Structure 1
Amino acid sequence: MSDFLSAQREFSVRTQGTLDEVLDSGQKIQLQRSGDVRLQRPNRLRVDRTGDLARLHLFYDGRQLTLHGERANAYATTPAPTTVDATLDMASQKLGLDAPGADLLVSNPYAALTEDVCSGRYLGGSMVDGVAVHHLAFRNSDGVDWELWVEDGPRPLPRKYVITSRDLPGAPQYSVSLSEWNLSPQLTQDQFQFTPPRDAMRVSFLAPDSQGGAQQGGSK
């Protein structure tokens, strides 16, 4: 799967997921989110996401990273590194923007996914949205469990990805299904460039330690 993904020069994919939020009372609430991802290696990425908490659009054109909040009609822009890999690292470390599932977008998914793995197992065949898949489960040394469902056949694409933060109260999960894979989307440069909507307000990215609940969710 990792070799196949890294060999794709460009692709688009539809995502449908849930994110657990554990309240102070201990009750677990499930939040919905869906989105569209477009990637063109080595230096273009766009994510359009709608969910219970926000409607967000991320643009990376090889020079700048921009995050636009549609409901607030506000956006923040910052200079970015020259690759998707480096930009995702910068977004996480300097901006506090951790995108669950980002390990599937980098140039070497295998290295990113298995960095902290201490055990793994193959659970056999299954079905996800009518597609035959292989089910794998892994445990990390940093308190995270995760599972992958990988399409069977000549296109070993990830079809479902689940992350469980077992060391956090309530063991919250992030789950995402990936569908409508297009490996020849014929993407254009303007799809990755941000043009501010009318009356949009420019703001600054918050420092990671001041974002609180504004992050996109815990990453693996």
Structure 2
Amino acid sequence: MSTETNSETQSNEQADVWLTPDQVDAMRDVAIDTGAKYLRQRNEAIITLLADTGLRNEELTQLTVEMYLRDQGELYLPKEIQKSSHNGRSDWPRSHHLELDVDGTLGTQRSLNSYLDNRWKESPYLFPSRQKEQITTRSVRNLVKRAAVEADVRPYKYENGDFGRGDPQDVHPHVLRHSLAYRLLHERDDDKFDIYFVRNRLRHASLQTTLREYDHFRTI
């Protein structure tokens, strides 16, 4: 099982790179319109699922077809594929059922269903690669970065108390996790999509982790 780079695993640090919903949509458009035709729906589904659920790269690569509960519109995440807590909690992670497209903006089920109905390759894993039954974290990083570069998205950055803009090369899978938090905290339904909802969506063991990473998003 492959590991992620340090830039993708800074879960205890303040989120410093993120995308707006329009930028995520631009990446999805690029994914479905470019590259090898038989991989386009897969690539678009990967970007959509990352943006919708906040899955970590390594978690996404371990998803099986059976974990997508198509009839329920949910993704089942067993605890064994999730990142372990570093705060000493023995009961975390827990298995989760994640409702897909909670804010109705991404059409995640439509994307996944279309991909699976036309998938070029049978595999027990949800996302196979050209050569193997299971895509690697490196391949996911590459396709996310390629979509960002081809869409020419300049992510937003927060560094040393200042807001600015980055380069497409700064975008990696964990940026889509940050982008989910940004999107939810700027939804009109503030009563539902608050910091507690974001904590549960991202499956943090502690609310303090969510506040440390994303509290500044509420003032942007």
Give the TM-score, by structure 2 length: 0.26
More strand by share: 1
Asked which structure has the greater CA Rg, the reply is 1
More helix by share: 2
